[in-house]
Structure 1
């Protein structure tokens, strides 16, 4: 089981805050450092303001050395896919091949309104999302010296040199590994089967994990893809303490209740966390993203590295 650190900087974090977490996660042996891709806070005041995901990852690509880096999830509404393909390929080069692209259709209406970003209806967002997956992977996998064209309903490319190329070529369709996630019963499994190197379920219980993993497996089998070629993962809010007092303090710091976190997150003592991870593992999960909300509490990560990581 791989454990990855997942942060929500839109709630209020500077680049230096994120760098401190990423460096400590790297030192402690976590597999990856991921961040959300949002431009507006969802609670609190969000000070000092949101940071851009791919600008952040470009900095971390140079300021870290071994930990993998990625987004959960970049919104397809934020960037033209041709530009995003260039950005991700460049950051992959800057990191020496340590980047992963988590990408979704987008959902947070208010951040689009706040920054003047168009926000189509759900049907159109998924159409654009599907085209972006095809287009981005197509640009990455076009052989050097050849040109790429795409004629979709929402995006059209002609005579593109399809450069630069990422360092990595291990993705399902070539290039950087692609993460897809979500709870949809039809479109999400189909897109995951076609494009995903990893399928992620954010903040869902064990029962739904089993249901949705099964849907994606069936969708893969229907197109002749081996489900074993997909990595399966969950994201859970992290709140672990050596005792009840420490647990309560950490829950209060993120504005949550201990009982609710025990039910819905990865919370409790280290032994409880190990037990829950193993239950998700039994359902097929191979990675757990630890949503780390208090970025100032590096001792939290140290506790997980010492008391949870060795047992999973």
Structure 2
């Protein structure tokens, strides 16, 4: 491979990985003893554009007065992930998110905003999917987007709210009328904070408080073998004890964990902690009162820090 082609190949590799300014690219080339002028680099960009795949494009943006370049790959966002595509497999499409044109558009916009480290201006956040929007309708929110999460066949935005200094997660369906805004700094710092926060959550839902608990959940043998065969949380450890199965977790307590427990009905039992037992009992009581028409049939969420303080 000639030096020219190697240079084009290396620049493409770098720009597929992360946005780089012209000075950054020139320094990398010089470090690899492939020093070129800015004028030559601009000619290289033209050559690279002609070499890209159909779903790729060379994109640029400005940050702190410097022009950054990266190769954007149009992502075929889908509402399902399958290991094998074959006529022998029948897909139920159960739990698959319906990706409307608006959600597809927002996914593309968010992906670019993350790449370019630009804030998102959200006109309206509707409903409550992750216990993060308890007011149900919140207007004019500005966040720093960090990750797109694919969870339970649905897409979520993990972001940092600079106003409240906290990590937030919202379902893509909740976000109405979004647009990219000004650039923000410290992306790596915010990315680390988001990852740390997500590791404390069972799924993507906000925890009831800031604590991480040592959780033990007992399953009957038949269900336990199913639980053992699946991934639920990165901290999970499953052991067979006297014929039953014990799932050990180290994470926070949230509404998603409670909903997950209830799907196993009478084949599951909480060993600890006490707070989780209390919340389980409280949820049973609330459900029974609803069945008996003793409470109004309206949306409620008892998994908040206010409720935690009452236990």
Q: TM-score, normalised by structure 2?
A: 0.27
Larger Rg, first or second structure (1 or 2): 2
Q: Which has the higher helix share?
A: 1
Q: TM-score, normalised by structure 1?
A: 0.27
